[in-house]
Amino acid sequence: MPALSAHRLKEQARALGFNLTGLTPARPAPHLAAYFAWLAAGMHGAMGYLARNDRLARRRDLNVILPGARTLVIVGLDYRALAVPESLLADPARGRIAAYAWGRDYHALMLPRLEALADWIQFESRGAVHYRAYVDTGALLERGHGQQAGLGFIGKNTLLIHPRRGSDFFLGEILTDGQFDEYDRPEPETMCGSCTRCLTACPTRAFPRPYVLDARRCISYLTIEHPGWIERGLRPLMGNWVFGCDVCQSVCPWQRFGVQTQETEFFPLSPDRAAPPLARLLALDAPAFDSQFHGTALHRLGRDGLVRNACLAAGNSGRAELAAPLTTLLADLSPFVRGHAAWALGRLPGRAAAPALNMRLNLETNGEVREELARALEEIGER
C-alpha cells in the first residue's frame, strides 16, 4: 500500500477543528527511563494505574497496543476561553476551577473528532489500516510523543509548550499501522533557558527539581486524583482551588502567545462556572451536583470530592459566614466531607462552631473524623 499523505491528513484534521497536528514514527517516548524512575520514587501517588505492568509494557513497546504500529498522529485543540477577571477567580469566598474545565468535558468533544479523522485514514487506505484513538486515556506518554511530533517542547513545569501558542491546548492521539509520506521534526527538548517562574510560584512546592513533578504535592492531583484525606500540612497551601490548578502554567512567559479557542463549548456559561461561590458548593447534594456539572470534567470527581475540596477552600477563606454550611456538613454521609469540614471550622475566626463540633464529637464513630473534630476544637481554644 502506498504511503498516505501527511499534508492531506493535516488538512482533514484542521477541517475537524484541531489546531495542531503532528506525525511521528511509533516509537517509545523519549526519557522513558526517567518516567520509570518517577514511578519508582512513588511520585505518582495514588494513581496506581500508571504503574500497572500491562501499561508499562505498552509504553515500552507501542506494538503491544497495536501490532505493526508505524505512526502516531498527535493533535492539539486550544481551550483558552474568554478572560475571567483575576479578582473574581482569586476571591476567597469562591472556589476556583482550572481553566481547562470551565466548559464542556474535552473528552466528549475531542474523541468523536479523532474517530472521524481515523475514519478518514481508513478510507484513504481503502480499509487496509488499523488504529487506536485516545484522549487522555491510553498508555502513552503523550507529551513526550507530542514533542517528537513537533507540537512543542517540554517545560520545567512538565507541560508541553508550543513556542507560538503557549500550553493551553488538549492532546489526542491516533496510533495506526498506516505509513505516511512525511513525518514532523521534533521540537527542541526544552526552551525554558534559565527561567524558574513555574518552580518558584507553585504554592505547594510540588517540583523537587526542574522537569519533575511530585504529584503527591500537586494541587491538581490533590483536588482531582487523590481520594480521601488530604495531608494537613498541604491544606493551607491550596488556597481557593477546588478543581485543578493553573499556577505553574499561568506564570510561564510563553503564555503570552496563547490563542483564544474558537470552541465556544469551552467557554464558561457564566463567571460562576469558573469560580462558583463556596457557599453554593458546600450546599451541594448529589442531584444538584449532577444537574450543575453533568457534561463537564468536574463530574468525574463526584459530589463528595468537590465538596471536600470546597471545605478546604472555605477553611482558607477566613470568611466566618461559611461556618453555617460547614456546620451542616459535620453530619454528612461522607467521612471525608465531615472531617475536612471540621478542619475548616477550626480555621475560621471565632468560636461559634464549638458547640456543633463538641456535639458531633460525642456522636462520631469514625476515628479519623474524631481526630479532625478534636483538633478543630483545639484550634479554636475549646480543648
- Indicate if the pLDDT at residue 135 is higher than 80: yes
- Indicate if the pLDDT at residue 248 is higher than 70: yes
- Indicate if the pLDDT at residue 382 is higher than 80: no
| Residues 266-279: tens digit of each pLDDT | 999 899 999 999 99
- Mean pLDDT over 277-294 rounds to 97
| Residues 43-53: tens digit of each pLDDT | 999 999 999 99
Cβ atoms 343, 376 nearer than 8 A: yes
- Indicate if the pLDDT at residue 82 is higher than 90: no
| Residues 195-220: tens digit of each pLDDT | 999 999 999 999 999 999 999 999 99
SS3 18: coil
- Indicate if the pLDDT at residue 246 is higher than 80: yes
- Indicate if the pLDDT at residue 6 is higher than 80: yes
- Mean pLDDT over 230-249 rounds to 98
- Mean pLDDT over 166-177 rounds to 98
Catalytic residues, which ones?
136
Cβ atoms 64, 58 nearer than 8 A: yes
Torsion of CA 298, 299, 304, 305, to 10 degrees: -30
- In CATH, the number for domain 199-248+267-379 is 1.25.10
pLDDT band at 383 (very low <50, low <70, confident <90, very high): low
pLDDT band at 170 (very low <50, low <70, confident <90, very high): very high
Torsion of CA 340, 341, 347, 352, to 10 degrees: -160
CB-based burial label for 277 (10 Å; 0-12, 13-18, 19+) = middle
More confident of the two residues 381 and 288: 288
Which conformational region is residue 45 in: left (phi greater than 0), alpha (psi within -120 to 50 degrees), or beta?
left
Q: Which of 15-19, 46-50, 81-85, 184-188 comes out lowest in average pLDDT? A: 81-85
| Residues 294-303: tens digit of each pLDDT | 999 999 999 9
pLDDT band at 349 (very low <50, low <70, confident <90, very high): very high
Place of cell 484541531: 18
124 strand-pairing partners: none
Cβ atoms 219, 185 nearer than 8 A: no
Q: Which of 11, 20, 18 lies closest to 166 in space, CA to CA?
A: 20
Q: Which of 67-76, 124-133, 147-156, 245-254 comes out lowest in average pLDDT? A: 124-133
Q: What is the Cα–Cα distance from 79 to 98, expressed in whole angstroms?
A: 11
Looking at every residue in the chain, the average pLDDT score rounds to: 96
In the chain, what percentage of residues exceed pLDDT 70? 99
Provide the residue ranges of all domains of the chain, joining segments of one domain with +.
199-248+267-379
- Mean pLDDT over 106-114 rounds to 96
